[in-house]
Structure 1
Amino acid sequence: MEGRLIPQTYDIKAGAASEKTIYATKQIENAIGTQKAKEEAARRVQPVYSILSMKNESLVDTTFEKLKQINADDQLNTNDKASIFRNVFPTMYGDYVTMLSASIRTSDPANDGLLNEVKTALADQMYRIPEEFYFKFPKLSKEDLDEMEPVAKEIVGRLMNDQLLNAQTARTRVAEFVNSSSLSKRESREMVQEIVRFVLTPNKFPNQKATDEARAEARDGTKPVYINKGDVLVHKGELVTEETYERLKAMDLLKEKTNYWPQLGLMLLSGLFVLGLFMFVSHSEHPIRSQNLQLLMLVLIYVLNVFVMKVVSLGPYANIGYLAPVAMGSMLIAILIGTPLALASSMVFALLSSVIFNTGGEQLFDFRYGLLALVVCITSVYAIQQANQRSSILKSGIMVSLSGAVTVLCMTFLDNVYTRSEIMFSFGFTVASGLLTAVLVIGLMPFFEVTFSILSPLKLVELSNPNHPLLRKLLIETPGTYHHSVMVGNLSEAAAESVGANGLLCRVGSYYHDIGKTKRPSYFIENQMSMGNPHDQIEPDLSKSIIIAHARDGVEMLKEHNIPKPIRDIAEQHHGTTLLKFFYFKAKKLQEEGAEPIPEEDYRYPGPKAQSKEAAIVGIADSVEAAVRSLRSPSIEQIDTMVRKIIKDRLDDGQLSDCDLTLRELETIAKTLNEALLGIFHSRIEYPAGSSPAQAETKEAKQA
């Protein structure tokens, strides 16, 4: 994470060759690139033209009016009229240009450029009537002119409807229109052609002002060009130009001065993460507060999760962070340690993800990866709850894939800047992330279970399988003990769950707690069936040794089969240092008069006393089940008295002094055991005398 937050600096000078390939650590604007992009955008803008309404019909009217006026003067001969026409036509055209210029100035007074373009174009493209036509115009009669005028107006109107940048393109078409007109005289058609060509002008003019405005708008609308985070600033061996040097300086990549603020910020951020987790753990009731081995396991999970995230971040693809199995850490913590710590860790993983996968921008965190990591981590924690087999991890991985895919699609659509390929890659990465999470968790679970002697729910469920070699041995060789163990398992699980202890551990521990009895099954009353009791034939000291040995033998057998330590502890501690009262008093009875008193310690289990709630609960349930089973027809009162007496005897004997069971929890355990035993021995409960069978059935149904 340090590389993401604290950029490396380089001792480099402008004009020197770079010893390393240097990458951009953040996104900055490329000023030169932006300027080039603006100029390119402006260059692509085509010149803007203005289309003007030229009012050429008015010039047609003026022309024919002059022709009629001059031709009607009988005092002038043909030469005089030709001379006048030679001057009148340019004058009419000049007056037309003046009138048009005034109109443009009025409509757009600030656009001098357009006015100049119009004047220049009209002057350059003015049609010069051939000299011979000046001598032909005087020959036109008033009737000829009246016939020619509407034809000329129509042709001018039709040709001026087009956008004319060059009037010559329209003048080449005049003959075509005139020949198809109603004029019959050849002379009239020739005169009309010349008049129309004279009247035609361009109506499309370059508008430099509008062009400049369009280009300025194109420049302003050009997006800045950025050097993105991760882009190469200078290759190894490449000369560092002034421009590159300035970029390196802008990114604080030069060793011009020592800046310790980023390091301090990283230390503070790491400290906040550690402090937050410490506060959470210290205020929780989880055993991790006092178990350094579990703390070490938590740190290892964090390291593995961050390592995997870092490896994925090195991938070359965009949005590669969606592929990271961030939920792996949360799922492992939920299974191996507990849900509350997994939820707290999910927030830490989300923050780390938003830093590690931040690939651009000026901000420290990329909310996209942080949000995705938070969603998939929380989903994995709740999806893995009540996991009782390895396939549950795969199902949780599928839930992670689905929740992550929905989150990515939501963010992509909200961003509103996406392509089909981007959606497909993002979706595929997220789905693969969930499956990769499940694979890694399944692969790492055995490592943590063996290395840290962790009994996960999945491992406990596997150990509770009746096909386990030890449980099959218990069932086949000691069926009585097997039935007793199952009954103890039911009782202890209910009692443990009532006080918040690990009920599944109590159940599985109960299955194995008397496994040592398979060494000498006939010496335990539940396996004697109809045979005689061998203890009647041997000394109480030997009987004591046989009975006490079953705990030690059980631990050895469990070690041989690699059964985890918490279950071995239950087998070793469920009797604590209790006294074998029957054989102790039998030994005292057989003791010769005058002999030294037999110490109680010789007839006590070697211990140790129960060190955990689970071991203590299994021990209580073991004694309760055996004691109640010894009663022929136990009543509700007898069961309650028996349960409370056993718990009190254990408490008075100091057997519960090393575990953290409270008096309130012992009361809850007593009530729970009473309820469980009531269901087990329901059919054996005696009903008050005088009750009829029908009344008995009614009472039994109500109690059920």
Structure 2
Amino acid sequence: MSRKNSGQPSNPISLSGAAAGWKHSAAMRWLLLLLFVFLFYFSISPRLVPETYDITLNAKSDKDIKAPRQELDEKATLQAQDEAAEKVGPIYSIVALRNEALIDEIFTRIEELNLDDLITVSDKVDIYRRVIPERVDQYIVNFVTANKGSETYSEGLLAEMESVILSQKYSIPEETFYKIPNLTSDQLLEMRSVGREVVRKLTGESLTQAETARTKVAELVNASSLSQRTEREIVQELARLAILPNKFYDKQATEDAKVEAKQNTPPVLIKQGDIVVKAGQVITDSIYERLDSLGLLQERKSYLPQLGVLLFSIIFTLALYGYGELTTNAAGAQKRTNVQWVMLLLIFALNILFMHLVALTHSEEWPFVGYLAPIAMGSMLVTLLLDMHIGLVSSFLFTLLASLILNVEQEHIFDFHYGFVAAVVTFTSVLAIHRASQRSSILKAGIMVSLFGSVAVLALMLVNPEPSRVQLVQSVIFMFSSGLLTAVLVIGLMPFFEVTFGILSALKLVELSNPNHPLLRKLLTETPGTYHHSLMVGNLSEAAAESVGANGLLCRVGSFYHDVGKTKRPLYFIENQNASGNPHDKLDPKVSASIIIAHAKDGADMLKAHKLPKPIRDIAEQHHGTTFLKYFYYKAVKQAQEQGVENQWTEDDYRYPGPKAQSKESAIVGIADCVEAAVRSLNHPKVEQIEEIIGKIIKDRLDDNQYNECDLTLRELDKIAETLKETVIGMFHSRIEYPDDKEIKKMKEAKEIRA
């Protein structure tokens, strides 16, 4: 057993068919680092190193020459501005007329006249016929007068409003005027309330045609508290009169929008990758000067940009490798294998590829399509498949790469906008996914990326002097879609990496812990005692593993499957026996031992047949290591003494075939398995007994060299013992009691005397 705290990686991985030696080969590690340098170099060199050409003035070009960066096209820009202005449709503005105040005035006037007994009914009808329609005209005139010269409504809009309202003015039927004088004050009070509510409700929305809302008046009035037909009819007519259009064509706003559209039209650029000179085109002085300004003349070529890109690539690689190794050593874990670096290289390559593909779609119509790049995909995959630490440094590198690759305009080497957004989404993805336990967590993390990324994009757009509403909406939509695209890609790529590299991620472990898995269902239905025992071992081993920094989830799930081999002969294991008795009582100890020993190998074979990951199979095969079946051995010794025959076996015949535990997780499950069985064999155990038996089990295995091939330290074994003692109380199970030291010593002495 190693005395150095060097740990196992939390996610053991293996690559099918690969030679065992290359996984830790230093030469292969250097080769992979060199591939990282190449990957970074060829990823960013198209943005930073322009291609040069052998150009002769006044000669024909023998090939197409593309622009390495953007150039302004003034003529096309002016044309684009005119087209943008033409696309601006008529703008309609809403005028707050407060129509309920108009109907309120009408009812006030009616109430005043109805209370005047000196005026005859006939005169009142004539007054209503003249005054009520005039109230509408006067109301509009007063509104226009009050708002002239204000910043709220332009004069053109107010003139348009008067014209439209006049054309849509409602005429009250003649018979209505004859009904109004007969209304009492109480009726008018109730009618006023209903009329105000109806008008307020129907004019609360924008109206270009008043008739649309007037058709709904009858329905609302009939559903009101008015009980008399005359009251409802009068209210309906007055409400229709008070309902006026409130949305009008705004010429000034339309012209302002056209001007704004021109101002917000992005300049037309000769984009990176556009053809500057076509094959066969004569190189004129102006073209030659443009090529010179773009740095495309081979005669003036400089190799300094290539050197700069190479240095960038080396720095990126050293940052990734150095931080990865530093965090591994700090955590006390084993160094990362070359398989992990191959997987990391593939993730970086995929993420960079997606960034380049999105960058290729950049156009004038979609200037912010770069926000669609699923930059957080790489960070999420690295965090899920490796760990959070390497996920963080990868996020930093993805941020720098995004600000380089998506920097299509190339005003600066790094684009702050894409860099800032990339930093937000990558670090958000790591924090959102690092404790994921279900596949749905990936979708939730994608939504978090969408939300935080959209907020970051919105903040960047709003701090611009004059943010364009269209560009703002477009960029936010792209960013929100990026988060969802990231989740889809991660969900789709996770099975590929898990299968290809043998990754046992936390998500996969949670899936395997589902009780509906065929093997767990089989374990539950055929060996319920073993199933319950496995659950208890899972609780113990998980707590113990987490106390020493091992993979607790792997221990828990591995415990669920570690005794699945017992399903082949369930009644030969005491937890599954009923009142019919113990079949081992009638068997030869050697046969009993072979049955017990076989369950580890049988379980590993069953797990392999069901294609469970190798770390789970290893726990099932290694959890007993090469431990000694004392009970059956000394039972055989006792039988031989009673029969007076010579022993024909050795202790090796009563040992599990192994292999010994190769990882902390396998060793911890083995200890928890033995502790759970031993404690359940005690009757009314005390804390001191539990502590003693846990210490004895660990010491026996330590003395038996069961931990020589894994990286458990003595300090970690002490932590495991303490954690098991705290967890095991109350979790008892009926098991065969192990013979104590006195009985074992007595049997040994009897054997020596006989020999």
Shorter-chain TM range is: 0.5 to 0.7
In the other structure, the counterpart of 1:606 is 657
Q: Flag the 1:505–1:267 CA change in 2: closer, same or farther, 3 A.
A: same
CA displacement 1:280-339 (0-9 Å, x = unmatched) = 122223757242222211111111111111111110331221000000010011111111
CA displacement 1:4-33 (0-9 Å, x = unmatched) = 121211222222233333332235689xx7
Q: Flag the 1:668–1:659 CA change in 2: closer, same or farther, 3 A.
A: same
Given residue 618 of structure 1, which amino acid in structure 2 is its aligned partner? V
Does the 8 Å contact 1:288/1:295 carry over to 2? no
In the other structure, the counterpart of 1:648 is 699
Given residue 604 of structure 1, which amino acid in structure 2 is its aligned partner? R
CA apart distance, 1:497: 1.2
In the other structure, the counterpart of 1:275 is 318
- How far apart, in 2, do the equivalents of 1:250 and 1:663 lie? 69
In the other structure, the counterpart of 1:633 is 684
Q: Flag the 1:419–1:362 CA change in 2: closer, same or farther, 3 A.
A: closer
Does the 8 Å contact 1:330/1:381 carry over to 2? yes
- How far apart, in 2, do the equivalents of 1:19 and 1:502 lie? 63
Aligned with 1:465 (options 502, 511, 514): 514
- How far apart, in 1, do the equivalents of 2:580 and 2:61 lie? 94
Aligned with 2:433 (options 353, 361, 384): 384
CA displacement 1:552-572 (0-9 Å, x = unmatched) = 111111111111111111101
Given residue 544 of structure 1, which amino acid in structure 2 is its aligned partner? A
Secondary structure (helix, strand or coil) at the match of 1:283 reads helix
In the other structure, the counterpart of 2:711 is 660
- How far apart, in 2, do the equivalents of 1:288 and 1:367 lie? 38
In the other structure, the counterpart of 2:498 is 449
In the other structure, the counterpart of 1:200 is none
Equivalences for residues 109-120 of structure 1 within 5 A: none
In the other structure, the counterpart of 1:307 is 353
Secondary structure (helix, strand or coil) at the match of 2:729 reads helix
- How far apart, in 2, do the equivalents of 1:621 and 1:493 lie? 9
- How far apart, in 1, do the equivalents of 2:588 and 2:280 lie? 94
Does the 8 Å contact 2:674/2:697 carry over to 1? yes
Q: Flag the 1:650–1:247 CA change in 2: closer, same or farther, 3 A.
A: same
CA apart distance, 1:590: 3.3
In the other structure, the counterpart of 2:488 is 439
CA apart distance, 1:230: 4.8
Given residue 499 of structure 1, which amino acid in structure 2 is its aligned partner? V
CA apart distance, 1:589: 2.9
Secondary structure (helix, strand or coil) at the match of 1:343 reads helix
In the other structure, the counterpart of 1:420 is 469
Given residue 562 of structure 1, which amino acid in structure 2 is its aligned partner? K
- How far apart, in 2, do the equivalents of 1:273 and 1:293 lie? 20
Secondary structure (helix, strand or coil) at the match of 1:608 reads coil
Does the 8 Å contact 1:540/1:586 carry over to 2? yes
Does the 8 Å contact 1:583/1:603 carry over to 2? yes
> Percent of pairs identical after alignment?
60
Given residue 254 of structure 1, which amino acid in structure 2 is its aligned partner? L
CA apart distance, 1:484: 0.3
- How far apart, in 2, do the equivalents of 1:596 and 1:557 lie? 35
In the other structure, the counterpart of 1:491 is 540
Q: Is structure 2 residue 292 aligned with structure 1 residue 249?
A: yes
Q: Flag the 1:225–1:484 CA change in 2: closer, same or farther, 3 A.
A: closer
RMSD: 2.4
In the other structure, the counterpart of 1:685 is none
- How far apart, in 2, do the equivalents of 1:12 and 1:405 lie? 46
Equivalences for residues 161-176 of structure 1 within 5 A: none
Given residue 306 of structure 1, which amino acid in structure 2 is its aligned partner? I
Q: Flag the 1:335–1:288 CA change in 2: closer, same or farther, 3 A.
A: farther
- How far apart, in 2, do the equivalents of 1:20 and 1:562 lie? 56
- How far apart, in 2, do the equivalents of 1:224 and 1:471 lie? 65
Secondary structure (helix, strand or coil) at the match of 2:299 reads coil
Given residue 423 of structure 1, which amino acid in structure 2 is its aligned partner? L
- How far apart, in 1, do the equivalents of 2:335 and 2:350 lie? 22
Q: Is structure 2 residue 405 aligned with structure 1 residue 356?
A: yes
- How far apart, in 1, do the equivalents of 2:561 and 2:284 lie? 76
In the other structure, the counterpart of 1:8 is 51
Does the 8 Å contact 2:52/2:301 carry over to 1? no
CA apart distance, 1:418: 2.8
Does the 8 Å contact 1:230/1:359 carry over to 2? no
- How far apart, in 2, do the equivalents of 1:540 and 1:403 lie? 66
Q: Flag the 1:17–1:544 CA change in 2: closer, same or farther, 3 A.
A: same
CA displacement 1:353-412 (0-9 Å, x = unmatched) = 011011123421111111111110111111113322211111111110001110011111
Given residue 301 of structure 1, which amino acid in structure 2 is its aligned partner? I
CA apart distance, 1:500: 1.5
Given residue 365 of structure 1, which amino acid in structure 2 is its aligned partner? F
CA apart distance, 1:654: 1.0
Secondary structure (helix, strand or coil) at the match of 1:548 reads helix
- How far apart, in 2, do the equivalents of 1:336 and 1:361 lie? 34
Q: Report the number of matched residues.
A: 494
Q: Is structure 2 residue 240 aligned with structure 1 residue 240?
A: no
For structure 1, the 5+ residue unaligned runs are 38-222, 683-704
Does the 8 Å contact 2:676/2:731 carry over to 1? no
Q: TM-score, normalised by structure 1?
A: 0.67
CA apart distance, 1:551: 0.7
For structure 2, the 5+ residue unaligned runs are 1-42, 79-265, 734-755
- How far apart, in 2, do the equivalents of 1:244 and 1:224 lie? 21
- How far apart, in 2, do the equivalents of 1:550 and 1:491 lie? 21
CA displacement 1:414-468 (0-9 Å, x = unmatched) = 2224311111110111011000000000101111111111111111111111111
CA apart distance, 1:237: 3.3
Given residue 48 of structure 2, which amino acid in structure 1 is its aligned partner? L
Does the 8 Å contact 1:354/1:365 carry over to 2? yes
Given residue 352 of structure 2, which amino acid in structure 1 is its aligned partner? V
Q: TM-score, normalised by structure 2?
A: 0.63
Secondary structure (helix, strand or coil) at the match of 1:579 reads coil
Aligned with 2:341 (options 284, 295, 318): 295
CA displacement 1:454-508 (0-9 Å, x = unmatched) = 1111111111111111001000000110010000001111111111111111111
Q: Is structure 2 residue 721 aligned with structure 1 residue 670?
A: yes
- How far apart, in 2, do the equivalents of 1:229 and 1:282 lie? 39
Does the 8 Å contact 1:288/1:294 carry over to 2? no
Aligned with 1:336 (options 385, 395, 399): 385
Given residue 347 of structure 2, which amino acid in structure 1 is its aligned partner? I
- How far apart, in 1, do the equivalents of 2:289 and 2:268 lie? 16
- How far apart, in 1, do the equivalents of 2:470 and 2:335 lie? 48
- How far apart, in 2, do the equivalents of 1:352 and 1:24 lie? 21
CA apart distance, 1:679: 4.5
- How far apart, in 2, do the equivalents of 1:342 and 1:463 lie? 25
- How far apart, in 1, do the equivalents of 2:385 and 2:410 lie? 38
In the other structure, the counterpart of 2:248 is none
Equivalences for residues 172-251 of structure 1 within 5 A: 229-230=272-273, 232-251=275-294
Secondary structure (helix, strand or coil) at the match of 1:233 reads strand
Does the 8 Å contact 1:380/1:399 carry over to 2? yes
- How far apart, in 1, do the equivalents of 2:271 and 2:498 lie? 45
CA apart distance, 1:346: 0.1
Q: Flag the 1:416–1:289 CA change in 2: closer, same or farther, 3 A.
A: farther
CA apart distance, 1:260: 2.3
Equivalences for residues 2-81 of structure 1 within 5 A: 2-27=45-70
Does the 8 Å contact 1:331/1:384 carry over to 2? yes
